[in-house]
A and B are shown apart, each in its own frame.
Chain A
Amino acid sequence: MKYAYYPGCSAHTSGKEYDKSFRLVAKALDIELVDVPDWSCCGSHVTYVFNPALAASLSARNLGLVEKIGGEVILTTCSGCYQTLKRSNELLKHDGVVQSKVKNALEAINLNYTGNVRVRHALEALTTDEALKAISAKLTKPLKGLKVAPYYGCAIVRPKFEDSFDDPENPQSLDRLLKVLGAEPIPYIDKVRCCGGVLIMKHEKVGLEMVRRLLVDAKQAGADCIVTPCALCHLNLDIMQPKVEQTFKTTLNMPVFFFTQLIGLALGFPSHQLGFDKHMVPPISLLQAKNL
């Protein structure tokens, strides 16, 4: 299997360990990743608020580059990019005005996009029946005894697009993956409840309260840790966790993993290759306690 890979901006900032562990796991599963050459920001939903045609143009640049290298699918690890790229594809299909503005913008940089690149998430690609079978065949260290709260977040399941791969209310892909890895998925009512996303930047108190609730609920449900397929969720749940503890005068100590890190662990990669040292809430003592 070969994909055009779009890491998204967070791969070079808050989510370096996501990108690193995904590349490692993909290689181990014989999935070839070709980086979209000179990719740029997808626009994100923030640019959409400011100017939809501009946001769609920013997306279309990356999608056009995939076409240029002969790709049909763009694969991304970032749920925000996934949602934005899909949204832009849809807008380009249905909105003639945006379409012509985007065409002009791309012409200014000698590029073209016909609208036919399919957007897929890394979680989607790694939880097909075929991929799960491949993971299962290569499992060397089942995550026995690890109780994990599967946290999907919003952007990967909502809105519902024509070709969405999981359910907006009760998604199952992460749960299925956890079972294959030998871990125990904990039923978690907040699995698709928003973490606040970028609210943390301008409305910190509100954002921290939203994160607090997600962490406390996971703890009360009996989880040892949380797993997520979203870089922004990870930023909120892991990076901001010390702030939540400080603000609400509580101790949570809830490690938050990217799903690719857990796959890597179960495939036998040592923890230093999976970027656990980058976490604000270190997972090492938990993993030692579980003999992982």
Chain B
Amino acid sequence: MTTLSRKITSDMMDPTFETTLKNRLGEKGEKIPLCFQCGVCSGSCPVVFAMDYTPRQIMELIKLGVKELVLNSSTIWLCAACYSCSVRCPQGVDLKQVMETLKEIAIEDPKYSRDEKTFYEKFIDVVKKNGRMDEVALYVKLMPKSTVMRNLGFGFKLYQKGKINLRPVRSNAAGDVAKMFENVLSEEVQKQ
């Protein structure tokens, strides 16, 4: 965790950031200004030990408009979407939804999305292609090359236990799923 004593410089700021976020969140965005920095979210977060900024600090940075620190934080990617913060926030802030929207914004802008995007892209690719997910195959696919040798024994055990499918798990409806992808995504391209 980082303390916020770090100097915030003007080039990190975007005065429109809070408003942009609020608009994207629709009705839920209206709650953002109500955050009174009580820290219940940070106290409830099971991943806070690994984040560079706590969920409460993210709320503070949003209000200060420090877009750079928010979108470059590890916090938004480490959020496991568990809703602990959201169900407990005394001010009704759906912080899980805030984190998800921050991920969305970061994924759209190559400046922020870093390598984190690959997980989302690979996940979506599998669904698009097969109509279904195979989380064990995805786990193996995402394994960094440097650790493959170390994980051979583990991989073999997974195979022995029938957790690894040698053929891709495909839904009969893979064609329909691909059509829906095309339909939803092409409409968005036309709109832009």
Interface residues of A (CB under 8 A from B): 9-10, 12-14, 16, 38-41, 43-51, 53-54, 57-58, 61, 95, 101, 104-106, 108-109, 154, 158-160, 168-169, 192-194, 196-203, 206, 209-210, 232, 235, 239, 242-243, 277-280
Contacts and interface: CB of A to CB of B under 8 A. Distances in A.
A200 B82 contact: no
Contacts of B94: 159
Contact of B173 (A38, A239, A242): A38
30 contacts: A12-B132, A13-B134, A13-B137, A13-B165, A14-B135, A14-B163, A38-B173, A41-B127, A41-B177, A46-B120, A47-B127, A50-B107, A51-B184, A54-B180, A54-B184, A54-B185, A104-B187, A158-B82, A193-B84, A196-B46, A197-B81, A203-B78, A206-B47, A206-B78, A235-B136, A239-B136, A239-B158, A242-B154, A243-B154, A278-B162
Interface of B: 26, 46-47, 49-50, 77-78, 80-84, 86-87, 94, 96, 100, 103-104, 107, 116, 118-120, 123-124, 127, 131-139, 142, 154, 157-158, 161-163, 165, 169, 171-174, 176-177, 179-185, 187-188
B142 A201 contact: yes
Contacts, number: 176
B123 A54 contact: no
B133 A105 contact: no
B187 A101 contact: yes
Main secondary structure of the interface of B (DSSP, over half): helix
A12 B169 contact: yes
Given A12-B132, A40-B173, A160-B87, A199 B80 contact: yes
Contact of B47 (A39, A43, A61, A210): A210
Given A61-B177, A108-B179, A109-B180, A44 B133 contact: yes
Contacts of A104: 183-184, 187
B80 A196 contact: yes
Contacts of A12: 132, 134, 165, 169
A169 B86 CA distance: 12
Contacts of A48: 100
Contacts of B173: 38-40, 61
Interface of A is mostly: helix
A61 B161 contact: no
Contacts of B180: 54, 57-58, 61, 105-106, 108-109
B82 A197 contact: yes
A279 B161 contact: yes
Given A38-B173, A49-B107, A160-B87, 15 more contacts: A16-B162, A40-B132, A40-B171, A41-B133, A49-B103, A51-B185, A57-B183, A109-B180, A154-B82, A158-B83, A168-B83, A169-B87, A199-B47, A209-B49, A278-B161
A203 B154 contact: no
A106 to B, nearest CB: 8
Contacts of A105: 180, 183-184
A39 B96 CA distance: 28
